[in-house]
Structure 1
């Protein structure tokens, strides 16, 4: 919590202890923090330099905490001044960059990033710089970034950035992928599934994209593409893949459930299986268990068949199914 004012975990713990205790000597603080006395003495000297701790009597061994409202307030004010200065410098640099990039050369529209560390870092930078939306195509063969190596996603979501992610089916078995999906689907993240995506891709705010370049010698490499016709093509590719993909959700135990995006023109084989079990008196829950699918999917398919048949009740669905030739004979009363 106090890292923003330059304290590490041990220094923060020592300051908090002094605040709670009202004061302590080195041996007492060492016992509470489970540290060596020499380490605690060094920590207290650091707090003293930052104006956060002091000895009321120079000859005494007892240390007390400076009032947090005063001491931390001063540090925070100093930190704000530093950040304000950095923000002004960044704005000036951004203006200079825009001026120089007003008529960019073709080679300035694309940059090559080489090496697993550099590719991973650039991927995180894209997310950190996003303001509105990130569009991502995920393959089942990660090279530089795995599902568990995305520490800035929570921060991006907290800023209001939405994610649209298309996974190829093979990616579901990646280590950590299902746990990431459980968390992601509860945030501003939409996930869809296809058998195969054409390429790995990340597009930030439709202005910056990153695509793999394959191995550059022995290291992975990627292209970072700035706003251009090429980026428009990549965004169009993402939208086509997104439109054809199936929405994905997770049921109990992290089981993947896929929902078709549109209602079919007529009942398919699965619909007819559900209808047959429905007509012999089975409940939706029993049908879902029998066919190993989600209860929500069963209910949606039954509703879809009612809409297709024109029936407003499940009994009417049975008679309409017979009239439309979906079943071989008149349904028996349950």
Structure 2
């Protein structure tokens, strides 16, 4: 039996279809039970066979090319039905989401500080907080990981959250850009709607939502436990701390009006204090290429070393 048939037909229907192809059709007088069999009904319903009553009544096969076109058309209609069902489900979930958000905002927190130790609960709560944001999500990302990060795990931003006008900002520690896959992770995050900057060193991770809740790690990686803080005085202090870091962090937005996009990327990573080796690893290029870009930047700004390069770049408005 051809295995491709069983991807669209049951095994019994596939066997019957091959018999029909080999024989040119089966007479109903010789096989009186055939029209009522499940295999025959499946073939007819899916467009692989038909009943013919000219001369001797028969069940005959549909030409294989036409049969597979029928199968494709049937599958397309099924996918369309499933897609429309998902759209209806999404509309229903959005209505429930609005009810959920209104209840979440109105609810007075019972525990101003709570310790969490279940990694699954911590991850779910982090997502839930971001989805419930009304104004802004601010986060810090260090270079401490329990295992190398997967770029596919980069946090996306649901369209309905962006439609509410929620702003997403993230500050990466310099060390976070030096781990394998960091460039892809950063690219995916920015494409998803995050504004990203880099700061030389960060002492901890953090997720701060609307200045009403913050999630802080109890250890470096954050998987050992976390602290959920809803105390307004503490979340306000964390907001001030984040803004101080944000104003001093280096933006990763490209400014093509000044230099080439490649040179702009190198310049911004130089400003974070990264070495040529770390920059090359992050961008996926050779150290020679990095040094060539740095020399071009030095010549363009009329300076001779990295220290004066940073000063001149900021003075000339080449970097935020």
Report matched runs for 1:279-298 at 5 Å: 285=299, 291=305, 298=312
> Does 2:116 align with 1:113?
yes
Aligned to 1:275: none
Deviations 1:90-128 (A, max 9, x none): 5555566667x3x443x2x44443244443343344444
Aligned pair partner of 1:166 in 168, 171, 181: 171
Aligned to 1:57: 50
Q: Is the contact made by 2:144 and 2:220 (CA closer than 8 Å) also made in structure 1? A: no
* Structure 2 residue ranges without an equivalent (≥5): 15-40, 52-58, 255-260, 273-295
Q: Secondary structure at the match of 2:123?
A: helix
Q: Offset of 1:235 from its aligned partner?
A: 1.5
Report matched runs for 1:186-265 at 5 Å: 188-214=193-219, 220-226=224-230, 228-248=232-252, 252=262, 255=266, 256-258=269-271
Instruction: Tell me: CA distance 1:231–1:196, structure 2 relative to 1, closer, same or farther (3 Å).
Output: same
Q: Secondary structure at the match of 1:241?
A: helix
Aligned to 2:125: 122
Q: TM-score, normalised by structure 1?
A: 0.52
Q: Is the contact made by 1:206 and 1:235 (CA closer than 8 Å) also made in structure 2? A: yes
Q: Offset of 1:212 from its aligned partner?
A: 0.6
Q: Offset of 1:76 from its aligned partner?
A: 4.4
Report matched runs for 1:301-316 at 5 Å: 301=315
Instruction: Tell me: CA distance 1:123–1:294, structure 2 relative to 1, closer, same or farther (3 Å).
Output: farther
Aligned residue-pair number = 242
Calculate the aligned-residue CA RMSD, in Å: 5.0
Instruction: Tell me: CA distance 1:104–1:169, structure 2 relative to 1, closer, same or farther (3 Å).
Output: closer
Q: Offset of 1:80 from its aligned partner?
A: 4.0
Aligned to 2:291: none
Return the alpha-carbon distance in structure 1 between the equivalents of residues 224 and 8 of structure 2: 45
* Structure 1 residue ranges without an equivalent (≥5): 1-25, 31-35, 260-281, 305-334
